Structure 1
């Protein structure tokens, strides 16, 4: 039972930009965590208070969407990277630089991910036919 679940997760992880999405979610969570403050303070500061929530939440979404739909990795990887860089300005130095760094790393890994190529024996069979 456990080995079946592990095998399924391994196949799932290899067919999607899993690690890039995970780093992007971790960066968004870090930005969001350092942006947390009381509702009264957010209402008083206006957009400046909400911007941390928007960038952190956007980074989390940009990390989850490519895991669910791998063909969207370029779009959401780039948007997540841009949000990570924007968080430097709008949210406590991007979660004190940690959230920004994790977001940029995750966005780059998401954009750079590609589907696994078939192994050599499968390529030879494809070339011969």
Structure 2
């Protein structure tokens, strides 16, 4: 590294991959992906034509509009899980209900493929919880010691209140646990 260099230059793909990884970790990414993937076959199959030689098989039913609506709603719920994760429980429950409704309405839920994907996405969305933020550990010098048995007046109680001392407990819990071997003794 030369003195003029500010640091190692990273490739832009590495930076984008790390950014995507961070974005993906802050939301129910897989739930949204499975929900959207489940909505596509549900919406597609009623309008698809299968060609076998000179024979064309049409999958369209009278509930084609219902299939389209369910598929579009599932894709919308998947996008909602990604970009508005605060409503993930509602979106997950709605995705599960739409997946169940797609069985009688949309060619057995997009030939079971869309049904299973949307059901899995909804379940993942309902069960997803945001991670706890990583707390930085403070140094021992910065921690405020807690003294048991100190008078209440020393703990910044208004002057007009009574002062009272709490009984001193001379028990060091770490030493007691080590002496007991982790067992709790009553007494």
TM-score, length-scaled by structure 2: 0.59
Of 70, 80, 94, which aligns to 2:109? 94
Residue 36 of structure 1: CA displacement?
Answer: 1.5
Which structure has the larger Rg?
Answer: 2
**Greater fraction strand:** 2
Query: What is the alpha-carbon distance in structure 2 between the residues aligned to residue 106 and residue 22 of structure 1?
Result: 7
Aligned twin of 1:79: 94
TM-score, length-scaled by structure 1: 0.84
Query: What is the alpha-carbon distance in structure 1 between the residues aligned to residue 115 and residue 48 of structure 2?
Result: 19
Work out whether 1:2 is the aligned partner of 2:17. no
Structure 2 gap segments, 5+ residues each: 1-11, 50-58, 145-187
Work out whether 1:62 is the aligned partner of 2:71. no
**Greater fraction helix:** 1
Aligned twin of 1:30: 41
Residue 87 of structure 1: CA displacement?
Answer: 0.4
Structure 1 gap segments, 5+ residues each: none
* Deviations, residues 101-123 of structure 1 (Å, cap 9, x unaligned): 0000000001111111234xx27
